Structure 1
Amino acid sequence: MTVLPFGDAAVMMLWEFDNDDDGERIKGECNSGNTTSGVVVIVHMTNLILNGCGGREGLCWIKVKFRDFIPSILNVSRQCLASGEEDVAIIAFEIFDELIESPAPLLGDSVKSIVQFSLEVCSTQSLEPNTRHQAIQIISWLAKYKSSTLKKHKLVMPILHVLCPLLAESTNENDDDDLAPDRAAAEVIDTMALNIPKQVFPPVFEFASVSYQNANPKFREASVTALGVISEGCLELMKTKLEPILHIVLAALRDPEQMVRGAASFALGQFAEYLQPEIVSHYESVLPCILNALEDASDEVKEKSYYALAAFCENMGEEEILPFLDPLMGRLLAALQNSSRILKETCMSAIGSMASAAEQAFIPYAERVLELMKNFMVLTNDEDLRSRARATELVGMVAMSVGKTRMEPILPPYIEAAISGFGLEYSELREYTHGFFGNVAEILGDNFAQYLPHVVPLAFSSCNLDDGSAIDIDECDDEIANGFEGVSSDDEAHDEPRVRNISIRTGVLDEKAAATQALGIFAQHTTISYAPYPLLELLFEGAAKAKEVLDTVMDIFIKTMVEDDDKEVVAQACTNVADIIRDYGYATLEPYLPKLVHATLLLLQEKSACQEVESDSEIDDEDSAHDEVLMDAVSDLLPAFAKAMGAQFDSIFAQLFDPLMKFAKAFRTPQDRTMVVACLAEVAQNMGFPIAVYVDRVMPLVLKELASSEATNRRNAAFCVGELCKNGGDSAL
């Protein structure tokens, strides 16, 4: 069906709608099954809303009317789906996308019917993959932009009751992987876990606990996939349930079905990455299972198991890894000679992690590993360059483990091979090679000076590369051309060229970062031998240039803290500011102090842009909208201030103290309370004697936290008691 361009009748209908006070006639068009008119209503209503037609009063009227129209819009969409006209429903979903992303509270209670419709569509296997994908995306946008709305209307459980079983849906080999329902569902569950972890973990854990024993292997696969997917967002909650979670995943790693074992090895890799350091304490049960999985008949299971092993061993110590070192290295060395290219690359990462963990205990295996790496470090075919990069990285890691005495005599051919790799025009190889040079410089010290004339120019060459950012501009207004003009959340969308896509080639940035780090290591470990080499004059031309750069950066960070609506972005800005303060001290901080204190106060009061609650959401004090990651970053600012200012921080801390203590109230989570206690401890440590004024108000909280059931809370409380006693004078006694 072709909906656009519209005929004269449609134009008249739109004109009449603008002059129709109650819109009943238009609703009649929708309910009558006139799908063309129905879609016109969707488009026209969205234009009016997003462009603010009629000023503030008009916008309020339109919002109310739009909510009245949603049942009719959904009715039209259902009729279209029933008659095979799926493109109309897709248009409806695209419009809902725009409305969800809008900062204006447009949906109200209608969000329940929108979610219900989306769940109906995404769970209907007879529909086209793209239609189902659009429905799943609605849930994704709601989780990202309106997560508090999902909580308010108690929609999280119904959503997960549909999405978790979708993980078990079989995918047609001919279907586009990006549209596959199981993959799309996993991405949405991940988004939900990142934004509303407390609501997501219980139903997902329940699904996994029931499904891992299901007779259908797809459901067993789905059970461990779900646990792996939520491990980043729900990390704190999962750490408290590691025993039963590992019971599920390790059982799946022994499952007779390959798909289940593959999902289990993926989940273990995710756990090893995100559930640190608690996951390492289970090494005695986890490592034997990974060891068995390395012998799996499936290359897919092997690859994911190598990844899990690499991630797991990164945080292990020599004593923990030693009992498993010989059998694991036997498997890995065999795999380096008899596996596919992809498996070899993952295998090298695992060996590198084991070398770092084992340190001197790795010496018996170093010679064999280094000999094998020679073969990889001379590869020149395009498809082999990633393997060459991994091999170069691994040689550097082995060198760090076994030390200067054993490595120095055998290094020249490896360094020569590494330098020759710069002629192959492969950014990742250059990135890993800079890391390799840094490792070698660290172990050789002044003896690395002989290589400086060769490696320093290579590092400068990487530093001076174009960043590779690209912005695509639409020369013509496609929205006008296709009849959807005005369906944009930007009121000035047609006044400027439309930015269609912004991309940054992060490979080049990673290379530049590695090169910069290498230069620092060269200067640090070769000392006077590095003196003849120039500084990065193009980046920092004297103090004036540095001040200009700092002013620009700090202005951006402070503005972000106050005005940006994304909590993760604001958290990163806070972290960056804290790092700058710690690195450069009070003299650097002073010009920005008033604005920084104001921004910090707003964040502690939960009044910044990223903490504003949509007016169609209601969040109680007990279910605060603040994000733990954000507030952890904000609370790190106070110790940074105190370290830079010492006792002078007292007057500023007086402004921030009460807003900070709000997070320590009894109804707050244990994570909130320990955040406050840790912050107070570091402030006391860095501010010194002025903390005495606060001891009477702080000590009851800290003593109560000493009896917490959470180990982290007890640890932070003990630290805080010590600092209060040390710096609080008689009031602490």
Structure 2
Amino acid sequence: MALNALNWTIKYKKSKIQSLNMAKAILEMLLPIGSEADPEDNDEDSPSRLAFRAVDALATVLPPQQVFPPLHQLVTQYMQSPDPGLRKAAMMAFGVTVEGCSEYIRPHMKSLWPLIDSGLTDPEAVVRKAACIAFACICEWLEEECAERHSVLLPAILRLTDDDGTQQAACTALDAYLEILDVEIHQYLPTIMNQLTKLLSTAPIPVKSVVTGAIGSAAHASKVAFTPYFEETIRRLQPFLTLEKEGEEQDLRGIATDAIGTLAEAVGREKFAPYVPNLMEAAFDGARKGSARLRECSYIFFGVMAKVFGEDFAPYLEHVMPMLLESLKQTEGGGDDTIDQIVKQNPDAFSTGDASQEIIDITPEADNDPATAISVNSAIAIEKEIAADTMGTIFSHTRNHFLPWLEQCTIALIDQLNHYYEGIRKSALISLFQFLRSFHGLSNSPLWEPGANLQDPDADEDDEPLEEQAEFDSVLISATGDLVSALATVLGQDFAQVFGTFLPLIAKYTRSNTDRASATGTLGEVITGMKGGITAFTEPVLKITTSLLADADPEVRSNAAFATGVLIENSDTDVSPHYGEILQRLSTLFSVQSDSSQSEKHGRDNAAGAVSRMIIKNSAVIPLDQVLPVLYGALPLQNDFLENAPVYRAIFHLFRTSPPVMMNYLNVLLPAFATALSPDTPDQLTPDVRAELVELIRHLQQQVPDQIAAAGLAGVA
């Protein structure tokens, strides 16, 4: 009872706890409780689990500056204890804190990794298991930092999958890790698949479920590179689609359905096509069972099949669509008025923040009327959420073939917009927008142009926050920035009429400890949307972005480089008097090593784009002999291919205006050209930039054919 009361106090009296700076004292009481043993049943509450729930609440609602420093001190102290219970508590507390403090933790991860490494190799299984759980949490919130350490972390996690004491937790951690890896996975794929395939044969069903999910994550990360493992994997997974027993077997069946859908996306339609009839029949069978979870997985599978096969999925619509419509007609129990009343009293019970499949019992203490003592089946609500989402996906990919179902589905989705569960409302709204986009795509309407004075195709006329705050509060600031950016994109230059109102608000958050990066990114996106409309605001915006180029946070510097570049590109104001200071500050962003963070690598690419935009705008005031060696030393761009457009436009500009200068850099430029034009990386260049680059290479071949041939570009020319 005391721990439950503490949880409620943290959530609903957070301002008082923050003002009294009580986080340290509370943590010092909670972590010893976390050292107690946990029950075998994962769904059973215990003092230790309630203690970690309270730690999670502290990290979520309080500023990370109040929570993580004392927690870090305790975790370091506990990890040195001879008591494995205290070491377990340290790992679990670290894990549950990451969600609420991720941005605060990010710059310090290099010094924190030894704690995780120590936990993964601890002599006690309970500590290793807790370290796996903590690592899975870190993967979710600090993707780049985890991906960079693949050579250390993947072998460590794979070793723990052979350990009976940590097998399930290690497989869960592996699943979380594979979700965030990209090309890094390729070198480990044979080892990973050998281990996971072995576990599919030998592990108990709960572990098989986690292993199956990890296989899906491996396919998602490796994409077409998974093809050599596809036949054997699907042969092993297909039998799981016939499991009938409730509980663990049905869970495994649902996860296998999801994983097979991921395999289809990885290997493509041609390789997957022979299996579709049998797999669709298995999915239909699952959808006909009495399990909301199996129906949910089947609906997701239908959506994936529509994505992979497009209009070829149309023959299945007559079987799929009635199922989706029937799901949306279900009732969860209780009258609508009663549910609405209870939702108003208990809004958190119906938010998407809790994906539990449990029955939620809601009994208002002050009302003994049996009509209010209802049970809301959240599993059915989630099923309806997935059904609504799948409708939009299927229309997007089957196009004209979906039209016979369009009216029924539209009415069904509109009916869900007032549903008490926000997940259903969100999915219904997203699908309705997908319907609009898909229908618009079928109508051959004229191209949209940005601006405030809009007409439809028929030409009908239409009538102070604290600088320190919880990181979840920053999510709202970031989302608001995205909305402002979207408005600027839609209104174009007309956004200048209101930008004067938004600029001081955005500028305020560029000084915030937690929101500088997102606010700076918002500035760049707004400038991109406004184009020439930014001219009147050039001086104040340039002052902000230039100062942020020297920020301690690499993500802020990266976003500031982009914002500075697009400001110079779009403004009609001559900012060349500031070029010297800007170039000096941008130069520091080019100092990137192989072990630098992903944000620093992105920063180099954005700096290259900014310098290139400056060259295009006014190359006469730039000391090319000093700037070009640094700029071209950053080629080819590795992280932000969108910046290739200004980089190559600047190259074309200089070849037109200063060809003798550019000929001195061919030994650097030609290999970069070859990389950019490689068929293995087709997304590096836009079609117009690619075409102009090919023309440039043809021109150069007439002058330096040997160098063109040596760079492997003769075939291009």
Question: Per the alignment, in what secondary structure is the counterpart of residue 230 of structure 1?
Answer: helix
Aligned with 1:411 (options 276, 283, 291): 276
Aligned with 1:296 (options 125, 139, 163): 163
Q: 1-side partners of 2:134 and 2:40: how far apart?
A: 23
Aligned with 2:190 (options 326, 347, 355): 326
Match of 1:339 in 2: 203
Q: 2-side partners of 1:508 and 1:588: how far apart?
A: 43
Match of 1:360 in 2: 224
One-letter amino acid matched to 2:193: M
Q: Does 1:729 align with 2:564?
A: no
Give the unaligned 5+ runs of structure 1. 1-132, 476-491, 557-567, 592-604, 607-620
Contact 1:463–1:515 at 8 Å: present in 2 too?
yes
Contact 1:473–1:500 at 8 Å: present in 2 too?
no
Contact 2:160–2:170 at 8 Å: present in 1 too?
yes
Residues 177 and 514 (structure 1), Cα distance of their counterparts in 2 relative to 1, 3 Å cut: closer
Aligned with 2:56 (options 178, 183, 190): 190
Q: Does 1:692 align with 2:532?
A: no
* Cα shift at 1:173: 8.7
* Cα shift at 1:504: 4.4
Q: 2-side partners of 1:495 and 1:589: how far apart?
A: 52
* Cα shift at 1:633: 2.3
* Cα shift at 1:622: 5.3
Q: State the Cα deviation string for residues 509-530 of structure 1 (Å, max 9, x = none).
A: 3322332333333333333333
One-letter amino acid matched to 1:427: A
Match of 2:593 in 1: none
* Cα shift at 1:408: 0.9
* Cα shift at 1:540: 6.5
Q: State the Cα deviation string for residues 388-409 of structure 1 (Å, max 9, x = none).
A: 1111111111111111222112
Q: State the Cα deviation string for residues 622-667 of structure 1 (Å, max 9, x = none).
A: 54689322222233332122223223323322223223322234xx
Residues 468 and 656 (structure 1), Cα distance of their counterparts in 2 relative to 1, 3 Å cut: farther
Match of 2:214 in 1: 350
Q: State the Cα deviation string for residues 206-229 of structure 1 (Å, max 9, x = none).
A: 111121121111111111111111
One-letter amino acid matched to 1:659: L
1:73-152 paired onto structure 2 within 5 Å: 133-134=1-2, 136-152=3-19
Match of 1:720 in 2: 563
Residues 272 and 695 (structure 1), Cα distance of their counterparts in 2 relative to 1, 3 Å cut: same
* Cα shift at 1:155: 1.6
Residues 188 and 719 (structure 1), Cα distance of their counterparts in 2 relative to 1, 3 Å cut: same
1:469-548 paired onto structure 2 within 5 Å: 471=338, 504-536=376-408, 539=411
Q: State the Cα deviation string for residues 166-189 of structure 1 (Å, max 9, x = none).
A: 2113468999942x3222211111
Q: 1-side partners of 2:450 and 2:332: how far apart?
A: 32
Using the size of structure 2 for normalisation, the TM-score is 0.66
Q: Does 1:395 align with 2:265?
A: no
Question: Per the alignment, in what secondary structure is the counterpart of residue 149 of structure 2?
Answer: helix
- Say how many residue pairs are matched: 526
Residues 496 and 348 (structure 1), Cα distance of their counterparts in 2 relative to 1, 3 Å cut: closer
Aligned with 2:122 (options 242, 247, 255): 255
Question: Per the alignment, in what secondary structure is the counterpart of residue 354 of structure 1?
Answer: helix
Residues 175 and 326 (structure 1), Cα distance of their counterparts in 2 relative to 1, 3 Å cut: closer
Aligned with 1:439 (options 293, 298, 304): 304
1:271-670 paired onto structure 2 within 5 Å: 271-298=138-165, 301-317=166-182, 319-383=183-247, 384-468=249-333, 471=338, 504-536=376-408, 539=411, 605-606=464-465, 623=468, 627-665=473-511, 668-669=512-513
Q: 1-side partners of 2:551 and 2:174: how far apart?
A: 34
Match of 1:40 in 2: none
Contact 2:451–2:494 at 8 Å: present in 1 too?
no
Aligned with 1:232 (options 96, 99, 123): 99
Q: 2-side partners of 1:424 and 1:174: how far apart?
A: 26
Aligned with 1:164 (options 31, 44, 56): 31
Residues 690 and 248 (structure 1), Cα distance of their counterparts in 2 relative to 1, 3 Å cut: same
Residues 446 and 138 (structure 1), Cα distance of their counterparts in 2 relative to 1, 3 Å cut: closer
Residues 638 and 379 (structure 1), Cα distance of their counterparts in 2 relative to 1, 3 Å cut: same
Question: Per the alignment, in what secondary structure is the counterpart of residue 536 of structure 1?
Answer: helix
Give the unaligned 5+ runs of structure 2. 343-363, 441-447, 455-463, 577-717
Q: 2-side partners of 1:351 and 1:172: how far apart?
A: 29
CA RMSD of aligned residues (A): 3.8
Q: State the Cα deviation string for residues 240-266 of structure 1 (Å, max 9, x = none).
A: 222232211122112221111110111
Residues 472 and 459 (structure 1), Cα distance of their counterparts in 2 relative to 1, 3 Å cut: closer
Q: Does 1:155 align with 2:22?
A: yes
Contact 1:164–1:204 at 8 Å: present in 2 too?
no
Which is higher, the Rg of structure 1 or of structure 2? Answer: 1
Residues 720 and 452 (structure 1), Cα distance of their counterparts in 2 relative to 1, 3 Å cut: same
* Cα shift at 1:732: 4.0
Q: Does 1:210 align with 2:45?
A: no
Question: Per the alignment, in what secondary structure is the counterpart of residue 404 of structure 2?
Answer: coil
One-letter amino acid matched to 2:241: M
Residues 498 and 693 (structure 1), Cα distance of their counterparts in 2 relative to 1, 3 Å cut: farther
Q: State the Cα deviation string for residues 275-334 of structure 1 (Å, max 9, x = none).
A: 223321111111111100100122xx21111111111111211x3111211111111111
Contact 1:462–1:515 at 8 Å: present in 2 too?
yes
Match of 2:136 in 1: 269
Question: Per the alignment, in what secondary structure is the counterpart of residue 411 of structure 2?
Answer: coil
Match of 1:681 in 2: 524
Q: 2-side partners of 1:162 and 1:589: how far apart?
A: 57
Q: 1-side partners of 2:393 and 2:189: how far apart?
A: 30
Residues 370 and 730 (structure 1), Cα distance of their counterparts in 2 relative to 1, 3 Å cut: same
Q: 2-side partners of 1:386 and 1:243: how far apart?
A: 37
Residues 363 and 720 (structure 1), Cα distance of their counterparts in 2 relative to 1, 3 Å cut: same
Residues 433 and 206 (structure 1), Cα distance of their counterparts in 2 relative to 1, 3 Å cut: same
Residues 297 and 331 (structure 1), Cα distance of their counterparts in 2 relative to 1, 3 Å cut: same
Q: State the Cα deviation string for residues 72-106 of structure 1 (Å, max 9, x = none).
A: xxxxxxxxxxxxxxxxxxxxxxxxxxxxxxxxxxx
Q: State the Cα deviation string for residues 417-473 of structure 1 (Å, max 9, x = none).
A: 211222211111111111112222222233323322222222222233225577589
One-letter amino acid matched to 1:305: A
Q: State the Cα deviation string for residues 35-83 of structure 1 (Å, max 9, x = none).
A: xxxxxxxxxxxxxxxxxxxxxxxxxxxxxxxxxxxxxxxxxxxxxxxxx
Q: 2-side partners of 1:174 and 1:447: how far apart?
A: 45
One-letter amino acid matched to 1:463: L
Q: State the Cα deviation string for residues 657-680 of structure 1 (Å, max 9, x = none).
A: 223322234xx31x3222322222
Q: 2-side partners of 1:270 and 1:207: how far apart?
A: 19
Q: 2-side partners of 1:529 and 1:231: how far apart?
A: 46
